[in-house]
Structures are given as structure tokens and as C-alpha cells.
Structure 1
Amino acid sequence: MFSTISTQTVTQPELISAIDTIWVALCAAIIFFMEGGFALLEAGFVRSKNAMSIIAKVIIDVVFGGLAFYAVGFGIAYGNSNGWFAFDVGITTEDLGLGLTVSNKLFWFIQLGFAIASISIVSGAVAERMKMWSYAIFVVVFCTIMYPLVANWVWNPNGWLAVRGFNDFAGSAAVHAMGGFAALAAAIVLGPRIGKYQANGEANAIPGHNLPLAAVGAFILWFGWFAFNPGSTLGAVGNWELIGTVATNTFLASAAGGMATMFYTYFRYGQIDITMTINGVLAGLVAITAGCNVVDANAAIIIGLIAGVLVDVAVLYIDKLKIDDPVGAIAVHGVNGLFGALAVGLFATEGGLFFGGGAAMLGTQALGVFVIGAFSFTVTFILMKILQKTIGIRISKQEESAGIDAVSFGVEAYSTFE
């Protein structure tokens, strides 16, 4: 038989902790499920002969990155910081200074979702041409050291950016720009896929093999974002108004991003680009993630509209530079992560430039996101060069032509039965 506990024996702090635990646990689980969205989105955007390799990379993100973040990364991010890094290992039982009403273990689990989301951005940009074990090494370094350092700066109460007042509520900079600029460096060092660019520099289209699959992945990510952003409140009790604001702004920006891309591609190319529209929705989500707690609904729409155009412009510019990004990760996450962090300094209702706050907040936001972007790009570039000179990072031409799935895994995404 189940025992019953009288509510009279439960104190108010215990009730608050119980409610907040349910909220954070639910959001953490949904955020974790976003990895399924990454897997489907990226698999749909690549050729069928490499679909399973993308699934493998996302699994590597979770298993290698998750264990690395548990063993070392979390302590670096949220331990006792000197402003730049911490030395704690594992999940401490000490007070983290964040005013949590949930256990440190549950806080670790929701932060795990942010860490593996950031590295999953890179997996799409290196699709169809990077060696699995080289990628696994990069994932370990990223989730052990690189991402945790940035999380320390932004979200640790002693972090140097946190102390300066840098506002990155759910990670436009710390998660998305971090992943996006790492993706940029990795794509540059790897070089383009065979046949991507002509001798005159013109890009050849290499269409994804299953756009409905990519769309389903995007909808899963879209759904998950309503845990990603509102879940960053880290508690429900007393935060109902903030949760409502964050959720509303998240939707409005994403919808505006998709609509802007639809109109922009229609008037530029004479027809709606559905592939780009998918990225337009994601761009709006990325851009609002930093400031969803401090901007009003109208500003969220404007941010989304700008992001929806910016993503298409960025994709074309990146292509002109002969940087091959099969899924548009650099444009969606890097460019719009940067824009989203800057948008806080423009549109925040308290302190934003457009609301009479002067340039101080904008300056802080610019400093933070540019340091994060430069750090992520530089460290990734150096690490990729080291891997390139040692164990190698690129698959053979024969493997690239035949497809990673058949050569490396001995399976194909779509078997043919006679």
C-alpha cells in the first residue's frame, strides 16, 4: 500500500521545491529530446548515403559530450569561479550561488541539454566529410573545456560577463554563437565537399535527400524551444509572468522569422524556398533566445523579422566564401546568435538603446558575444588543425564518393528489397 502524507506536514519551501523540481525536470527532458530534432533536421538536409553518419554524430554528441560534461565540464562552468573558470569536478552538493530551489543534480541535467545542443550545431556543418573518431575527440574537448568556460563567463554568478550585466537568458551567445562559430572554423579547416564548388567559384546545389524529414526535425526543435527558453527560469513558483513572457516572445520571433524568410525568398527568387523557411524559423528562435526575458512582444516580432532575412543573406555570403555548410548551421546559429545577443542591447525595455537606455548595454552585449565568437572560432580552428596534422579529420575521397554509411557503418538509411 502507498502511504499518504498530510499536506500539513509539508513546509512551504518543500512545496516550492517540489513544484519547481517538476517544472525543471519536465523542461530538461524536453530539451534533451531536441537532440532528436537535430538528428532528423540534419539527416534530411544531407544526401541519403550519409544520413546514418549524421545520426551517429548526434549520438556522439550525447554520449561522449554528456559524460565529459558530467565528469569535468559542469564543475568548470558552475563551480567556485574566479571570474574565468572554476576547478570543481563532477556535481558538487554545495550551494552554487544561483538561488536554486532544485537539486544540483537536476540543474546539471538541464544544463547538459544546453551543452549538447551547442555541440550538435557543429555536427551539421561538418556533415558528409569528417571522420567519426576525430569528431568524437572534438566533442569531448568542446564539452569538457570550451563550452563550460563560456557558460562560466555568462551564467556563473562570479563570471566576468555576468558581473558586467551581460544578458543571455537562454544562450543566443553561450549556446548558439558558441556552436555556430565553432562550426565556421571546422568547416573552413575541413574544406568543401567534393563537387560543391565549380572552378569559377560558383556553388553547385547539393540538395538534401528528405526535406519532410528535415521539417519534422525542425518542428521538434521548435517544440523543444518552449522548454529551452522558459525552462531557463529554473523554477515555476513566482515566475509565472516571466514564463508567459518568455514563451510568447519565443513564438512570436520564430513565427516572424519564418514569415520573413517566406516573403524574402519569394520576392528575391520568384518562389518560396521552403528549405530556407525552415531555417528562418530556427533563426528567429536563435535570435530571441538571449533577450526573450527583457523585450516586449512587438520587439520580439521585429527581431524575428530581421533574423528571417539575415539567415538567407548569410547563407549566400558564406557560400560566396566557399565555406560549405550543408545544413546552414553557421548562418542560423552563428550569425543569428550574434545578432540575438546584440538585439538585447537595442530592444531591452530597460536599458536598451531604442528605449532610451543609451549605448552601455549594447556595448556590454557586443563585448560578450564577440569574445565568445572569437574564442570559439580560434580554439576550434587550432584544435582542428592539430587533429588534421595528427590523426586526420577528413574521410577519403573514395569514402566520400561512396557514402559514409556504407563504408564506415556497413548500413544504409534506406535498404532496397527485391
Structure 2
Amino acid sequence: MENQIFELQYAIDTFYFVICGALVMWMAAGFAMLEAGLVRAKNTTEILTKNVALFAIACTMYMVCGYAIMYDGGIFLKGITDFDLGGVLSASAENGFDGDSVYSGASDFFFQVVFVATAMSIVSGAVAERMKLWAFLLFAVVMTGLIYPLEGAWTWGGADVFGMYNLGDLGFSDFAGSGIVHMAGAAAALAGVLLLGPRKGKYGANGQINAIPGANLPLATLGTFILWMGWFGFNGGSVLKLGDAANAHSVAVVFMNTNAAAAGGAIAALIVARILFGKSDLTMLLNGALAGLVAITAEPSTPTPLLATLFGALGGVLVVFSIVTLDKLKVDDPVGAISVHGVVGLLGLLLVPITNSDSSFSGQIIGALTIFIWVFVASLIVWGILKAVMGVRVTEEEEYEGMDLVDCGMEAYPEFVKS
């Protein structure tokens, strides 16, 4: 009877992992649509190419070495695809199976690999409209094969940071990746943006900031809703288990709080934008919803629904001011990715100790600094090498012509005049 219960839980937890992984994979479509909507028409094909290619690169590099670095899972996933029911049951009996998470190693890899792609997708939007496609793709190889897996090993993997200290022992906690995934992606993006410089015409000689509107706000809105839906897999799957009553309830709470935070972020950003700009800015509303989602990702299981809404609202308020501030500093981020995922990702980490007594503010700060410094410095080095070897920015003439024709030789909207 115990073996039958074990097999059933194994099947349920494995299936849940796979389904949540599929939801997170669908976030790739959300990033693609969001970014395609927020860039100019002449750069749409290229941004879509980047999003599909980076996902494929992330999946391959994480299979080749990333998973092994992060979890010691074996290069080329050696042993991950093996299955021996007798061995699994024997191990369960030997360890005194007590209802903990039990699932296929292959399902764990699939769930983890889509997180890697999410981190890399954050970089795509921030460097849009002026970066060489192949420089970006080469960076994706290093980011998904080494930079992200190493900081993942120090956090979710439980390894010591360069053999010096263990973040978990210091009171660091990040339930689904506000820092490990989102802030890490933003740190890599910031390094690239600083080396690239702003788009031509974004900032005037006298310090004025010139808006460069996106070409397709319906697509950006669709992308936001896709990301909102995919986030249920992102946070809900991070419970790591469904096969008993307590964890099933925890999954439901995580779904509820994730949704509440997104709603709170959207409402708060819309109100702040109306007060600051005198208009109901759709792009701020969209980024507010995403900011709410990022803010709750570090700990969606312990807040009450009201607190989750307030945490999301804090993210929504912060993201508006962050986007405005970065623009004043002439940090050109076409989609607001650094603010949404980086600044609010840090906020999410700092909110954890309010409801999770297993974490500490000092641990959260040390963890955030570890992640940011490693990813930013490593990314800056890689971007710098790419800049010296092949260049990372297209010429002024190519930027004016548009990345679609320069990199891909085709336009997304050939019947329309380029904007």
C-alpha cells in the first residue's frame, strides 16, 4: 500500500512539474509579444528572432552544462533520463518516505530550464533596437551556460559562494526567483545597456527625453496577459509538490497571492501615472502588473491576500518612479525591463522577512548583493569582450534603417511605412 501511495504521489508531482514548466515556457511567448509591441515597427522581426533563438540556446546550454553546474545533475543530463522503479522504491523505503516531494529528474530539468530562458528574455528587451543580433546570441550562450547556473548553485543549489559562505545559512530566501531569476536578468541587461549607450534620438543635447513609442500596443497588452498567466506556473510550480492536501492548499494560496499582487501592481501604477503625467499611461499599467508579479515572486506562500495586494502595489508604484529615474540618468531601456525585473526584484527580496520568519533582512541583502555583483560584473566582462572582438552595436545608418532589414532581411509589417 505504501508503494502504491508513493507511486501515485510520484506521478502527481511529476505531472504538476511538467504542466507548470509548460506554463512558464509559455511566458517566452509573452516576452516576445510584449517586446514586439514596445519596439518600433522596423525592429519587430529582429526582436522576435532574438526571443525564439535565446529560448533554444538556453535549453541547449542548460542541457550541456548549466544544470550540472547548478545542481550537479551530470553534463549532457547523464543519468537524468534513467528510471528504475525498484530503485526508487528501495530508496524511498530506506529513507523513510514521509510525503516529501518526489518526482522525475527529467521533470525537474524541464521546470528549471524554462527559468533560465526567462532570465535571458529580460535582457532581450532592454538592449533592443541597437544591438547586433549575433553579439546578443553569443552572450546568451555564456549567460545561460555559466553566469546564471553559477548564481543558481549558490542559492537554490545550496552551494557555498566561491567556498566562502552559504546564502541559505545566512537567512536568504527566494521562493521562485525575484532575485535569482529576475534581478539576475536585469543585472545582465544593465551591463549591456551601459556599454551600448542609448538609441539615437532618445536624449537631446539639452537633456530632454524624447519618447520613442512602441509600434503595437495591442501586442504588448497580449504579451502582458500571457506573462500574467504563465506566472501561475512560475510561482505555483515552485511549491514543488501537489500530491497531498497541505501542499495542494499551498499551491492554491500561491496562485491567489500571485494574482492579487499583479492586480495591485497594475492599479497602483495606473494611479501614479495619472497623477504624474495627467494621462492613463497603458505602458505604465502593463509594467505595473508585471512589477506586482515580480514583487510577490520572492515569497508568494506566506502573505495574506491583502498583504500580497499591497506588496504588488508597492512594486507598481516603484516601477513608475524607477522608469522615470533611469530615463533621467540616460539609461535607455525600451521596455522598462531593468526597472520591472531589477529594481522591483530587489524590493521583492526585501519584503520576504515581513511574512517569512525563516529569512532575515541581512541575509536578503547579502544574497541580493551576491547575485547582482556576480551577474553584473561577469556580464560586463562578457559584453566587453564581445565589444572588442566583434562590436555589440550596429552603425548609425543601420539603426536608422531598422534591425529587421539589417539582421533578418525581412520586415514584420512590409505593407506599412517604417516608423
Question: TM-score, normalization: structure 2?
Answer: 0.90
Structure 2 equivalent of residue 170 of structure 1? 176
Choose from 230, 249, 252 the match for 1:241: 249
Using the TM superposition, name which of 388-397 and 167-176 deviates more: 388-397
Structure 2 equivalent of residue 83 of structure 1? none
Choose from 54, 63, 82 the match for 1:61: 54
1:81-119 Cα shifts (integer Å, max 9, x gaps): xxxxxxx42324379x9x641111110011011000001
1:156, 1:162 within 8 Å by CA — same for their partners in 2?
no
* Shift of residue 218, structure 1, vs aligned partner: 0.5
Choose from 76, 81, 84 the match for 1:90: 76
- Where does the alignment leave 5 or more consecutive residues of structure 1 unmatched? 1-7, 81-87, 352-359
1:106-155 Cα shifts (integer Å, max 9, x gaps): 10011011000001000000101111111111000001111001111111
1:157-198 Cα shifts (integer Å, max 9, x gaps): 445223333210100000000001111111110000111110
Choose from 325, 336, 341 the match for 2:349: 341
Choose from 37, 46, 60 the match for 1:44: 37
Structure 2 equivalent of residue 210 of structure 1? 216
Structure 1 equivalent of residue 406 of structure 2? 407
| Structure-to-structure mapping, 1:114-153, within 5 angstroms | 114-153=115-154
2:32, 2:223 within 8 Å by CA — same for their partners in 1?
yes
Q: Does residue 313 of structure 2 align to residue 277 of structure 1? A: no
Using the TM superposition, name which of 160-169 and 320-329 deviates more: 160-169
* Shift of residue 361, structure 1, vs aligned partner: 0.5
- Take 1:157 and 1:307, find their aligned partners in 2: how far apart are those partners? 28
Q: Does residue 378 of structure 2 align to residue 379 of structure 1? A: yes
| Structure-to-structure mapping, 1:361-376, within 5 angstroms | 361-376=360-375
| Count of paired positions | 393
- Take 1:148 and 1:382, find their aligned partners in 2: how far apart are those partners? 17
1:363-385 Cα shifts (integer Å, max 9, x gaps): 10111012111211111112111
Q: Which residue identity does 1:407 align to in structure 2? A: V
2:241, 2:248 within 8 Å by CA — same for their partners in 1?
no
Choose from 293, 304, 309 the match for 2:312: 304
- Take 2:316 and 2:152, find their aligned partners in 1: how far apart are those partners? 27
* Shift of residue 362, structure 1, vs aligned partner: 0.8
Using the TM superposition, name which of 197-206 and 41-50 deviates more: 197-206
Q: Which residue identity does 1:243 align to in structure 2? A: V
Q: Does residue 270 of structure 2 align to residue 262 of structure 1? A: yes
Greater RCO (CA < 8 Å, at least 6 residues apart): 2
Give the root-mean-square deviation of aligned CA atoms. Answer: 1.9
Q: Which residue identity does 1:393 align to in structure 2? A: V
Q: Which residue identity does 1:219 align to in structure 2? A: F
1:341-399 Cα shifts (integer Å, max 9, x gaps): 01112x21535xxxxxxxx7011011101211121111111211111111110112111
* Shift of residue 302, structure 1, vs aligned partner: 1.6
Structure 2 equivalent of residue 106 of structure 1? 107
Runs of 4 or more, structure 1, over 6 Å off, are: none
Choose from 172, 179, 188 the match for 2:185: 179
- Take 2:342 and 2:176, find their aligned partners in 1: how far apart are those partners? 15
- Take 1:9 and 1:167, find their aligned partners in 2: how far apart are those partners? 33
1:92, 1:104 within 8 Å by CA — same for their partners in 2?
no
Shift in CA distance, 255/14, structure 1 to aligned 2, threshold 3 Å = same
Q: Does residue 199 of structure 2 align to residue 193 of structure 1? A: yes
- Where does the alignment leave 5 or more consecutive residues of structure 2 unmatched? 81-87, 89-94, 161-165
2:293, 2:312 within 8 Å by CA — same for their partners in 1?
yes
- Take 1:371 and 1:336, find their aligned partners in 2: how far apart are those partners? 17
Question: TM-score, normalization: structure 1?
Answer: 0.90
- Take 1:9 and 1:183, find their aligned partners in 2: how far apart are those partners? 49
- Take 2:269 and 2:293, find their aligned partners in 1: how far apart are those partners? 13
1:4-36 Cα shifts (integer Å, max 9, x gaps): xxxx89711111111112111111111111100
Structure 2 equivalent of residue 325 of structure 1? 333
Q: Which residue identity does 1:180 align to in structure 2? A: A
1:256, 1:302 within 8 Å by CA — same for their partners in 2?
yes
- Take 1:185 and 1:219, find their aligned partners in 2: how far apart are those partners? 28
